Structure 1
Amino acid sequence: MEHTGQSAAATMPLDSIDVSIPELFYNDSVGEYFKRLRKDDPVHYCADSAFGPYWSITKYNDIMHVDTNHDIFSSDAGYGGIIIDDGIQKGGDGGLDLPNFIAMDRPRHDEQRKAVSPIVAPANLAALEGTIRERVSKTLDGLPVGEEFDWVDRVSIEITTQMLATLFDFPFEERRKLTRWSDVTTAAPGGGVVESWDQRKTELLECAAYFQVLWNERVNKDPGNDLISMLAHSPATRNMTPEEYLGNVLLLIVGGNDTTRNSMTGGVLALHKNPDQFAKLKANPALVETMVPEIIRWQTPLAHMRRTAIADSELGGKTIRKGDKVVMWYYSGNRDDEVIDRPEEFIIDRPRPRQHLSFGFGIHRCVGNRLAEMQLRILWEEILTRFSRIEVMAEPERVRSNFVRGYAKMMVRVHA
């Protein structure tokens, strides 16, 4: 398939379009293919891809239909789980089967999710706000004003990893291990993160051993206010298998890291590309409240979620058969102009900024969505008190992934 962006997307035969190719995300040309599918074939069947045959659901309301009909579309790992790449789900041939609550259906999903949800209850978020602000301030104060540096490493990764270490009560000086394990979890060999399935497995087993020590420390203590204590003391999760424990830990690491981290970088890029919006923000800093969900929509840090049909059904005039792989492209749904006004534009004062798909819907709606928004809000409040602008020096280097829509590197210069 040609990767030349607009012309190829507009002219190639529909049955040749395969939006799962990671390269299209790496070179940021996939949007043109989604635009074509939304217009000409919103429920699109790709018969042949590196990940097998699959359906692409590209329009907002069709995605909502799939995301909220759990009796027809399953997330259970037994059927294939939640990402298009079965290899990552299974960890290759001799892989790791790591069940976790996002890749479960009811009732097990609800029981396990409930064990960790107190961490993001309003009272706990309020208690965390001061810690987050202190750490964001310290990170921003350490930036070299007027010099080039990598925003991804110095700010996005640093702040989200500090936050994760706090939520897990993880040894703070070793927090970058969490970043590494997050990257390894969503990586397939050859994308620049791991060389082989064996390397991936070895690193994830190191993660398992590390977290087993933390579990053993906390299971015999009074319940603490961190995620591991919550898992260790909840009746729904205290008797998990080691695989299930690791699966849930990795889910929480990726959920708490990749998404927020890439929105922190995406927001800087969006405002750099839209100086009129940055001027609007500086004139009225209260617009941070509506800008944060707009960043999350515009970035769409997880490009897709996958389901498996467990019954035949009709959608968009097509028959989806039992056993078919169904991919909800959140990134495409967030660009659907039938639902979102001028969706290609970054507009920080939209009247309904939370009208987006980035957190999912139904029982699998992101458990940490309010925490993610709070971290982004605090980051931008603190940026506005320190810097007149953040200049992006070159096009960022993106991640080669059809799942995490993120950045490996973005060189910037901050101005006092």
Structure 2
Amino acid sequence: MNIAVKVQAADAAAEIAATPLQKLNPAKVSRFYDDSIWPVFERLRREDPVHFTPESEYGPYWSVTKWNDIMAVDTNHEAFSSADGIALVDLEAMAEQERVMGPRRRGAGFITMDEPDHSVARKAVSPTVAPSNLHNMAPLVRERAGQILDSLPIGKEFDWVDLVSKELTAMTLATLFDFPFDQRRKLPWWSDMITNQPGHGPVESWEQKGAAMAECFNAFQELWNQRVNAEPANDLVSMLAHNPSTRNMPMETYQGNVILLIVGGNDTTRNTISSSVFSLNKNPDQYAKLRANPDLVLGMVSETIRWQTPLAHMSRTATRDVELNGKFIKKGDKVAMWYISGNRDEEMIDRPNEFIIDRERPRQHMSFGFGVHRCVGNRVAELQLTIIWEEILKRFPEIKVVGEPVLNWSAFVHGFESLPVIIPSRI
């Protein structure tokens, strides 16, 4: 860390320490963008692990920041509902989006369904990401990962996010959807259009965002029309179209599922691929350890998923009055589960602020959530990440980060817009 960055971090920590607790807003986006969020969560875990923010751009909301409290919320779907959305929403931005694109749809997509409807819809797509199907898909993922890596320039600076992270994710998503392969880059682009506001990522205006989402929905409507009248196949659209529990779902629910599968299939993998390169560069002792023992790839992947936490939080709405760790949450209150903080909980994880690729329990992290809404595609993410690093280690002695990354402008998607690197040579 250079001197300027150290000074900036110290200033941010001092500001956070001086802010009265009741005015602390953990979801302040600028702190995620400049990576100054960590003192916020350290303070809340220490002083106020179930914290209420009465006024913010998201309205009033609770923040749950310690492992056991997050687990208590995440596994109690009866008291904490997903039906009103799974992320804190900027109210001003939502009003502007609704002005251009129409009212926000609530309950669209199985992640925003409560039981028993949630499990019924989730089971419709589960076979696509089942271990047997992933085993069959692995050789294709490996072949495509090799093609991506073999096309990279040697000795020249390039953006790792663009040429590797987005490309591998696009290839895998296209396979899972059986989406036209030559149009695969539309999938991560649509994901960015969905998750960003104007002025960030590729989004230039609300009108452009609305047009992009309409294009996405029209493309997937065409896929639905093709698959529903064809023999059942093993892709996600065909499974939704032929499963009795989802075949007749309203089109807005189908569109919600499309958003979930595109964004969920994009963000975890893409941002962890980028973070793995960044984190290993920031921790050269761990990079040396990995090069010396490639069998540590699996542990490194899990540690990066913990360390990065690709989705910083999920939110729920209380269905009744609930007591949590001495605080009283009222019916209708918004509750943010900060996975990014739980993954640094000192009481649950040894040396949580250190990046250690050979931890004894590498999968001890919160990044995929818990309970009925645990990430349905977690094994797909791990498969891609493991394969890409196995192939990297066969080809390149080193990938060097040569500049500071640009992070997402988001308190939800915790990831990278760009990451400049150079590959000095091949093996």
Q: What's the TM-score, normalizing by structure 2?
A: 0.94
Question: What is the CA-CA distance between 1:375 and the residue it aligns to?
Answer: 0.6
* Per-residue deviation, 1:200: 2.2
Q: Does the C-alpha gap of structure 1 residues 239 and 89 become closer, same or farther in structure 2, counting only changes over 3 Å? A: farther
Runs of at least 5 residues in structure 1 that lack an aligned partner in the other structure: none
Aligned residue runs from structure 1 range 66-81, under 5 A: 66-76=73-83, 80-81=84-85
Distance 1:384 1:22 in 2: 35
C-alpha separation in 1, matches of 2:193 and 2:15: 32
Structure-2 residue corresponding to 1:113? 122
Q: Does 1:282 align with 2:258?
A: no
Identify the match of residue 85 of structure 1 among 69, 89, 98: 89
2:411 maps to what in 1?
Answer: 402
Consecutive aligned runs of 4 or more in structure 1 exceeding 4 Å deviation: 86-91
Match of 1:158 in 2: 167
1:187 equivalent in structure 2: 196
Q: Any conservation in 1 of the 2:272–2:305 contact (CA below 8 Å)?
A: yes
- Residue 227 of structure 1 aligns with which residue? 236
* CA deviation string 1:86-118 (max 9, x = no partner): 657885343341600001101111111000000
**C-alpha separation in 1, matches of 2:29 and 2:198:** 12
Match of 2:65 in 1: 58
The aligned residue for residue 122 of structure 1 is 131
Conserved? CA contact 2:57–2:90, under 8 Å? no
Deviation at 1:19, TM superposition (A): 1.2
Aligned mate of 1:363, from 355, 368, 372: 372
Deviation at 1:190, TM superposition (A): 4.0
Q: How many residues align?
A: 412
Deviations 1:114-144 (A, max 9, x none): 0000011111000000000000001000111
CA distance in structure 2 between the partners assigned to 1:410 and 1:308 by the alignment:
36
Amino acid at match of 1:395: E
- Other-structure match for 1:139: 148
- Within the candidate set 389, 393, 407, 2:398 is matched to 389
Q: Quick check: 2:193–2:201 contact (8 Å CA) kept in 1?
A: no
The CA RMSD over aligned residues, in Å, is: 1.5
Deviation at residue 192 of structure 1 after TM alignment: 4.3
User: Aligned letter for 1:49?
Assistant: S
Separation in structure 2 between the aligned mates of residue 197 and residue 10 of structure 1, nearest angstrom:
36
Q: Match of 1:46, as an amino acid? A: T
Aligned-pair CA distance for 1:194? 2.5
The whole-number CA distance in structure 2 between the counterparts of 1:372 and 1:401 is 21
- Specify the alignment match of 2:105 in structure 1: 97
Specify the alignment match of 1:331 in structure 2. Answer: 340
Alignment partner, residue 15 of structure 1: 22
> For 2:152 and 2:90, how far apart are their aligned partners in 1?
40
CA distance in 1, matches of 2:384, 2:413: 19
C-alpha contact 1:266 1:299 (8 A) present in aligned 2? yes
Instruction: Encode CA deviations 1:28-56: one digit per residue, 9 max, x unaligned.
Output: 00111111111111111001100100000
Cα deviation code 1:263-300 (max 9, x no counterpart):
00000011000110011111111111211111100010
TM-aligned CA deviation for residue 196 of structure 1 = 3.9
TM-score (norm 1): 0.96
Task: Look up the match of 2:422.
Answer: 413
Name the structure 2 match of 1:37. Answer: 44
Deviations 1:303-322 (A, max 9, x none): 00000001111112110111
User: Quick check: 2:111–2:118 contact (8 Å CA) kept in 1?
Assistant: yes
Alpha-carbon separation, structure 1, partners of 2:77 and 2:160: 39
Instruction: Note the 1:287-366 alignment, pairs <5 A.
Output: 287-366=296-375
Task: Give the AA of the match of 1:44.
Answer: H
d(CA) in 2 for partners of 1:226, 1:119: 6
Q: Specify whether residues 89 and 251 from structure 1 end up closer, same or farther in structure 2 by C-alpha distance, changes over 3 A only.
A: farther
Say if 2:145 and 2:387, in contact at 8 Å, map to a contact too: yes
- 1:271 alignment partner, one of 267, 277, 280: 280
Secondary structure of residue in 2 paired with 1:314:
strand
Query: Alignment partner of 1:5: what SS?
Result: helix
Q: Distance in 1 between matches of 2:94 and 2:296?
A: 39
Q: Is the 8 A contact 1:360 1:366 kept in 2?
A: yes
